Structure 1
Amino acid sequence: MSHVPSHSRNPRIEALRLVAIAGIALFHTFQPWFSAATDGSWAAGPLITWALGCVSLLGAYGNHVFFLISGLFLVPRAAQASTTAGYWPDQVRKTGRRALTILASVALYALVALAVSTWVVPVEGVSLHEAGWLVGGLEFVWLYLVFVALVPLVGWTWRCMRRPHAAVFVLVSMAFALNAYIAFLSPGEVDRGLLEWRKLMSAASYLVAFLVGGVLGETQSRRPARALAACAAVAVVVEGAAAFMGSSDVLVALSFKSTSALSFALAVLSVAYAARSADAATAPASTPTNHAAALTCRAAPCVLGFYLAQSIFSPLWRPLADALTQAAAAGGDVALLVAGTAFSLALLAVMLLTDALVRLPLLRWLGLA
């Protein structure tokens, strides 16, 4: 039986957003260590390599989760509304509002970054004379903007097709067949141009995730918890096998940017599990569970702000992360993991709180939140 997710916030979905952004924070903190462990520049042991291999899955996982959740809500609603009168004007209005929210958010963080770089401390790459920090550096945000703009067309096409779910399955199969070729056989150069075909496959992979989110919004998995646990176990075992066998190339391929099929599968099953309990937050207001749900729903809208801040201000926080983890590494692998995790979560908390105090009030003042 098909269903369309409720307009009210689902605490489990919002919690998953926070889990995803925490995964991205961890991924970026440990990314240099994973690269060093797999390119031979650091003689890492199999246990720490195994742990870093699992962490390396989190970057693509988090991004896929965000696009899946967006598709989960936006696609079914647009498809359902496409049979009503005034569909296009209504969708244009809603799409314009969503686009303005994204653009206003980028503009705010860009202005803050320029002010900080001019009057507080220089931020490398942040300048009116450079565009990389706002173009390639924020490619995830621009992809999200493009997908939001496509929602009216996607919803209309979705409703016109006899079997949209089957079409999405075909797209998934094609995309990840190409992704497997890229990851294991033809990774290309480390730095890709925006129009290089492997780079475009990253965008295609996230578009596929967005469409799969639409499928999840209209169906319910029978046993998502078991499937998720099984997939997570497979990911851990496969990463461990590659680490203990010393197969660095396999480790890299398993988590190769957005092409990672493991990350995608984990993301799909995570969203399916969270979406299955759409009415989970029905506890009385006085219970601890309800208070935690309320806090989660307050924090989750700040994830866009965290992504913007983490990307734009990476020249400031990256040296701190590297210095802290390098100092911790002298105490052993466990110390490295603990220090990197603590730094990642602290950075996440500070940026989420800042966003809640600055960007969200501004958006409300502008009538965009």
Structure 2
Amino acid sequence: MQPKAARNISIEALRLVAVAGIAIFHTFQWTFKAICTGMPEYASLAAFPYSGVLGSINLLGCWANEVFFMISGFFLIPSAVRNLQNGLSTQALARKSFARLKKIVLPTLFYCAACLLVSMYVYPLPEISLHEIGWLTLGIEFIWVYAASVLLVPAIALARQRIGSKRTPFVVALLVLTTFGINGYIAATTNEVAGIVLWRKLMSAVTYLVAFIAAGEMRFVLECHDKASSAQKSKIVLIGLIAATVALELLLSANSQYDALWKLSYKSTSVISFILAAVSVAAAALHQPRHKVPAADKVIASLAAGTLAFYAVQSFTCNVWRPIFDNVIYAMATGIQTGEPHPSGAILLGILMSLCLALALLIMDIVRRAVIDAMVHVYHLVRSSR
């Protein structure tokens, strides 16, 4: 049995940053929408520079979604391609994908069952019941699309082999351009008819898969260049893109262009977040830490392993924690209790609450994994003693 490959701690740290991004994004999601639709109660947050900060937070959430898919695509697709080139059969490759699928589906089903039991016997979680399926389908669309992407790895690797290594980058580039062409049309459509909302959800899923495929091809491209030089360039490009993105958001905020702020950052269909995610993954994958701190690395890897658990539980419980967070942010931003609005305090408090929630859920999953590992260990001890 081959030893497991060492984790790239920079990639694991990027996963944690993405978790934080998702948590903060979900906390301010409806507040940002209220600002962009001109709700007068949120006038203090609509002012410059606060609307620009919230616009950047919205993009942060879009970026985080893309990062999760790109990290997996960056490693899984090239690995599958090389396995095929080394003579591994498609059936064996499919079995490896199913083994990975279990690591996604089983923890998700565990939390589905846990939240359902809590809702039935401890505290009623809104919309979590045996009579509704939305919480199990579109409620965790991200996880099911991720599972489907992992399952499609053998097919993607086979397609790349058929197309050829020289033509594949152009095919993938065309796929990305086509996807964002459709996304651009959707973002420009202001009429919220029933069809366009469904199309937005579907295109979010398509964009996730495209990000997954594009990241796999990006790794092949990066391998053709000097690693040290590419690492330095990717960091410079990433810093420049972040600065330009924040400047754009602040410029739109200063000119009260709320409609543009909204359209630039609709979920995963934002081209800005896609480019930022690609450069972030490249920079993290190429980065080589000068000093290793085993204890810190272990903590980062342990917390990052709970990414999907975090996503599932925060989705299942959003109708419990989100109203509380919304009310706290609203009260501070409007000064409804103190008589004086504190928009900056509201944003900082919202970020702090988001990070605390994310950390609590990640630690909860560490405990779950420790308990399961202990149970498996005891089971093997009992079996071996017989």
Equivalents in 2 of 1:326, 1:8: separation in Å? Answer: 45
Match of 1:314 in 2: 318
Change (3 A) 1:132 1:190: farther
1:189-208 → structure 2 map (5 Å cutoff)? 189=192, 196-208=198-210
RMSD, aligned CA: 2.1
Shift in Å at residue 100 of structure 1?
1.6
Change (3 A) 1:39 1:193: closer
Larger deviation: 138-147 or 312-321? 312-321
Assess if the C-alpha contact under 8 Å between 1:105 and 1:359 holds in 2: no
Match of 1:335 in 2: 345
Match of 1:38 in 2: 36
Which AA in structure 2 matches 1:186? Answer: T
Per-residue CA shift, 1:75-100, capped at 9, x if unaligned? 00001111233422221221111112
Residues 1:186 and 2:195 aligned together: no
Match of 2:329 in 1: 325
Match of 1:73 in 2: 75
Which of the residues 152, 158, 161 maps onto 2:160? 158
Match of 2:6 in 1: 8
Assess if the C-alpha contact under 8 Å between 2:108 and 2:312 holds in 1: yes
Per-residue CA shift, 1:12-68, capped at 9, x if unaligned? 000000001100100000112111111110322121111101101012111100000
Equivalents in 2 of 1:129, 1:359: separation in Å? Answer: 30
Equivalents in 1 of 2:295, 2:201: separation in Å? Answer: 42
Which AA in structure 1 matches 2:350? Answer: G
- Superposition TM-score, scaled by structure 1 size: 0.90
Counterpart secondary structure, 1:133:
coil
Please identify the structure whose Cα radius of gyration is greater: 2
Larger deviation: 163-172 or 336-345? 163-172
Which AA in structure 2 matches 1:351? Answer: L
Match of 2:52 in 1: 50
1:288-307 → structure 2 map (5 Å cutoff)? 289-307=293-311
Per-residue CA shift, 1:166-200, capped at 9, x if unaligned? 211111111112212221x2255387689x43332
Equivalents in 1 of 2:319, 2:119: separation in Å? Answer: 11
Which AA in structure 2 matches 1:166? Answer: F
Match of 2:123 in 1: 121
Larger deviation: 255-264 or 160-169? 160-169
Shift in Å at residue 342 of structure 1?
0.7
Match of 2:276 in 1: 266
Q: Where does structure 1 lack aligned partners over 5 or more consecutive residues?
A: 1-5
Assess if the C-alpha contact under 8 Å between 1:67 and 1:209 holds in 2: yes
Shift in Å at residue 159 of structure 1?
2.2
Equivalents in 1 of 2:144, 2:254: separation in Å? Answer: 39
* Matched length: 354
Q: Where does structure 2 lack aligned partners over 5 or more consecutive residues?
A: 336-340, 378-386
Assess if the C-alpha contact under 8 Å between 1:283 and 1:290 holds in 2: no
- Superposition TM-score, scaled by structure 2 size: 0.87
Change (3 A) 1:318 1:81: same
Equivalents in 1 of 2:37, 2:351: separation in Å? Answer: 22
Equivalents in 2 of 1:207, 1:246: separation in Å? Answer: 34
Which of the residues 356, 360, 363 maps onto 1:350? 360
Per-residue CA shift, 1:219-274, capped at 9, x if unaligned? 32721011111111111111111111111110001101211111111111100100
